Amino acid sequence: MKFNMSIFLKSICSLIFSQMLIKIFGLVYTLYITNKTGFGDKGNAIYMGGYQIYSLMLTVSSIGIPNAIAKLVAEKEVLRDYKGEKKVVYISSILFGIIAFLGSLVLYFNSTIVADYLLEIPEAEESIKMLSPAIFFVSMGAVLRGYFNGKNEFKIGAKTQVLEQILKTFFTIIFVEYISIKTSYDTKAMATAASFGTTISTIISFLYIAKMYYKEENIKVKLFYEGPSESSRYILRKIILFSFPITIGAILASLSKNIDSITIVRILKDLIGKEMALEKYGILSSKIDILIALPLSINSSVSQALIPAISERKVINDIEGVEAKIIEAIDLTFLITIPCAFGMMFYSKEIFYILFPNAKVGYELLMIASISIVFSSLVQVIGSVLQSLDKIFFPLIVSIIGIIIKFICNIFLIRIEGIYEKGAVIGNVLMAISSYIIISNFLKRNIKLKTKIMKISYGYLIISIIMIILSKFLYSILNKNFINLRANILISIVFSVIFYGFCIFFIKKIKKTFKKSETAKR
């Protein structure tokens, strides 16, 4: 049990580290194009308009497909059914390969319709065409990543994602820089070049993970499974049964961003003009969404590692092991997201000052959006728990309810004068809170945890409040005595991280010592 728990934590650490690298490199190219002459918020609106359509499939490929494959492979791994594992990958590759290939064709040949009528951003047509081939390669790579995740070899999938992001950053900067010189800073052409960089990086990363898979497949395993072998038809049925609701749930979770891309420009162009509407959508999609996605993507590492971990425990009917992993996952979620939410809320203006010196507008949106971080992360983790326990349709229902709430909020709030794009952010917050309330109540009915979910957060909340108070106090002192504003901000933020880390380490150490003394007394 201790060995498995250590594998679980190592898997999470590996995924968190990779996600941090991915977001750092992602932030580099985002900062580049946002501050690039001729690109800016308008260029982001064109690029992100096409990218949000593509990201539907990207979400499915990064969450839906790998999680479904990982669950099935993990169950085979416990039974040492290695032939079954290979069969799962083979059938999944055919199934998702056909679907993804058709998806690429449909998106490419309907790019005009999507850009003109769905997004109402005609300039995004070429960007959509450039992104469409990536759908196939992302999906095929996702199947192989799910296989490695199911075998608790998370490092391989993590390396693939990091490689893709590094290449994406490199190619985006190179292509955009080249096109800006050739076209005299044509915004549409630069946005198309950025999309082309994404596709090239996706193809290369797929080739890398495919090489790793065939290398693994050639290793002859002496251990073998003596139980009955499942037929290809039965495995296909299981893949569809598990992957369909998880995949649809992932699509619906991503739809909240597409609701913004569809509603914001469509509604605001009649109220404040198309140019201003594009800029406001560009602020939300390229700045707020990317910053909020940072803690969510890091926390998604917990969800990814949780599915195979709980699936293994469930196969051997280890109820205590399942409960222990759930509590640990929720604890890690609060550990990661609460300080992130406080930091983005109280340092939103300073973050924009450092990251977007040439496009500082929109920091107040980050203050509001930060509220959703903790609740969205909890929904991620609890959804993964329910999927691992074969309660695969309820997270789907929660996603549908959340989407409805988000859509209604956008339709009504965006129209209110003085709110506009804030309405979309408020909708995200309400969607996250309501989704958490529903999904946590369902978890309580199915699994009686020894500790209440919100009770786990108390310690992290107290430490985060003290952290922000001390950090802001330090920041005010620095501002009075030192002129360099950027240095003052960075020193205050670094202090927050060190203080929070020290407090967590100290408290965990005390708890561990206390448990040892209690055990010794018994």
pLDDT tens digit sequence for 448-489: 777 788 888 888 999 999 999 999 999 999 888 877 888 888
Gap between the Cα atoms of 365 and 322, Å rounded: 38
The confidence band for 520, taking pLDDT boundaries of 50, 70 and 90, is low
Gap between the Cα atoms of 59 and 310, Å rounded: 22
Which of 6-10, 141-145, 163-167, 201-205 shows the lowest mean pLDDT across its residues? Answer: 6-10
Q: How far is CA 98 from CA 22, 168, 199, 341, in A?
A: 28, 25, 19, 40
Gap between the Cα atoms of 411 and 416, Å rounded: 10
Gap between the Cα atoms of 398 and 274, Å rounded: 34
Gap between the Cα atoms of 455 and 122, Å rounded: 49
Q: Distance between alpha carbon 515 and the CA centroid of its chain, in Å? A: 35
pLDDT tens digit sequence for 223-281: 444 556 677 788 888 888 877 777 777 677 666 667 877 787 788 887 888 778 777 77
List CB contacts of 140: < 8 A, sequence separation 6 or more.
93, 96, 97, 100, 206, 210
CB atoms < 10 A from the CB of 373, how many? 27
List CB contacts of 486: < 8 A, sequence separation 6 or more.
353, 354
Residue 433: pLDDT above 90? Answer: yes
pLDDT tens digit sequence for 326-374: 888 898 899 999 999 999 999 988 888 888 777 677 788 899 999 999 9
pLDDT at residue 256, rounded to an integer: 67
Helix (H, G, I), strand (E, B) or coil at 371: coil
Percent of the chain beyond pLDDT 90? Answer: 15
Q: What is the mean pLDDT of residues 139-149?
A: 89
Gap between the Cα atoms of 411 and 455, Å rounded: 36
Percent of the chain beyond pLDDT 70? Answer: 88
For 192, half-sphere exposure in the C-beta direction (CA atoms, 13 angstrom radius) is: 16
CB atoms < 10 A from the CB of 462, how many? 12
Gap between the Cα atoms of 238 and 515, Å rounded: 43
Gap between the Cα atoms of 3 and 280, Å rounded: 50
pLDDT tens digit sequence for 5-27: 456 677 777 777 887 788 788 77
Model pTM score: 0.75
pLDDT at residue 498, rounded to an integer: 93
3-state SS of 216-282 is HHCCCCCCCCCCCCCCHHHHHHHHHHHHHHHHHHHHHHHHHHHHHHHHHHHHHHHHHCHHHHHHHHH
Q: How far is CA 443 from CA 107, 121, 292, 346, 449, in A?
A: 38, 41, 25, 32, 9
Gap between the Cα atoms of 362 and 365, Å rounded: 5
pLDDT at residue 218, rounded to an integer: 58
Q: What is the mean pLDDT of residues 122-150?
A: 87
Burial class for 17, CB neighbours closer than 10 Å (0-12, 13-18, 19+): middle
CB atoms < 10 A from the CB of 82, how many? 15
What average pLDDT does the chain have? 81
pLDDT at residue 234, rounded to an integer: 82
pLDDT at residue 496, rounded to an integer: 92
Of residues 510 and 71, more confidence is placed in 71
Where helices occur in 60-186 by DSSP H, the ranges are 65-78, 82-109, 111-113, 125-131, 134-150, 154-183
